[in-house]
Amino acid sequence: MATRIIHNGPPKHLRKMKQPPNGWTTEVEVKRVYDGDTLIVDVHRTLTVRLKDCWCSEIRTRNKDEKKKGIAARNYLREI
């Protein structure tokens, strides 16, 4: 599956680098959906990507209800 990811620049601890303009995108291949708001993508290497302003239940938790919702969110994202 090929898609485009909006690139919002480097993390805060690497802000010495110049941030690209807003709306700049990069061609990526989605390798795996980790959970409802995290993708593993291939650019030139595999990266973990957090989706901006997307808050889903996590799958690594001891709370069974949250884990169940996290797995449902991951499965939904895999389908779209």
Q: At residue 15, what are phi and psi to the nearest 5 degrees?
A: -70, 0
Residue with tokens 């989605």: 30
Helix (H, G, I), strand (E, B) or coil at 23: coil
Please give the DSSP secondary-structure letter assigned to residue 53: T
- Residues of 33-48 as b/e, b for ≥16 C-beta within 10 angstroms? bbbbbbbebeeeeeee
Across all residues in the chain, what is the average pLDDT?
A: 80
Q: Note the pLDDT of residue 27.
A: 79
Q: If you average pLDDT over residues 10-21, what whole number do you get?
A: 60
Q: How many domains is the chain partitioned into structurally?
A: 1
Which pTM was predicted? 0.49
- Indicate the pLDDT class of residue 12, thresholds 50, 70 and 90: low
- Which residues form the domain of 15? 2-79
pLDDT per residue as tens digits for the range 42-69: 877 677 888 888 889 999 999 999 999 9
Lowest mean pLDDT across 9-13, 30-34, 36-40: 9-13
